[in-house]
Amino acid sequence: MDVEQLTWTGASYINLLAQLRERYPQTDLEKQTEESGIDDIDQQNLAIGVQQIKGFVFRTYVKFNALSKQIKDFESYKDGIKTKYEEISKGVIPTKESVENFIVSMNELFVTGVIGELLGSSGDVLRSLTK
C-alpha cells in the first residue's frame, strides 16, 4: 500500500511541477526564491506538494530499512535506495528526476519481493502436493 501511495503522490507532484513550469517557464522551481514571480497560491501548492512527496519518501525509506534488516535479499538494494533518498531529502524542492528514480526503485523492489514470495509459496504448494 505504501508503494502505491508513494507512486500516486509522486505522480501528483510531477504533474504539479509540469503545471508550474508551464505557467512560469523562466523560473527554476528547484531554486525557488521569494523573487521568483510565483504567485502565493502556486507557492502554497508547491509547498504542500513538496511536503507530501518528502513525507511519503521518508515513510517508504524507513520501512525499506526495517525490511532490509529482516529480508536479506533487500540488502543489495540498500546503497542505491539510500543515494536516491538522500538526493530527494537534501534539497528544498526535489527534482522530477530524483522523485521518479526513487519511485521506480521502490516499485522494482516491491515487484522483486512479490515475485520472490510467489515463487516461495508456489514451491511450498508443490511440495505439499507431491508428498
Residues 7-61 have pLDDT tens digits of 999 999 999 999 999 999 888 777 665 666 788 899 999 999 999 999 999 999 9
Own/partner contacts of 14-17, CB < 8 Å, gap of 24 or more, are 14/96, 14/99, 14/100, 16/45, 16/46, 16/49, 17/49, 17/96
CA distance 66 to 88: 20
Whether 125 shows a pLDDT value over 50: the answer reads no
Helices 96-129 & 78-90 angle (0-180, nearest 10) = 150
Query: Which residue, chain included where needed, has cell 504539479?
Result: 16
pTM: 0.80
Q: How confident is the model at residue 2 (pLDDT cuts 50, 70, 90)?
A: confident
Residue 114: predicted pLDDT: 59
Q: Which residue has the higher pLDDT, 125 or 109?
A: 109
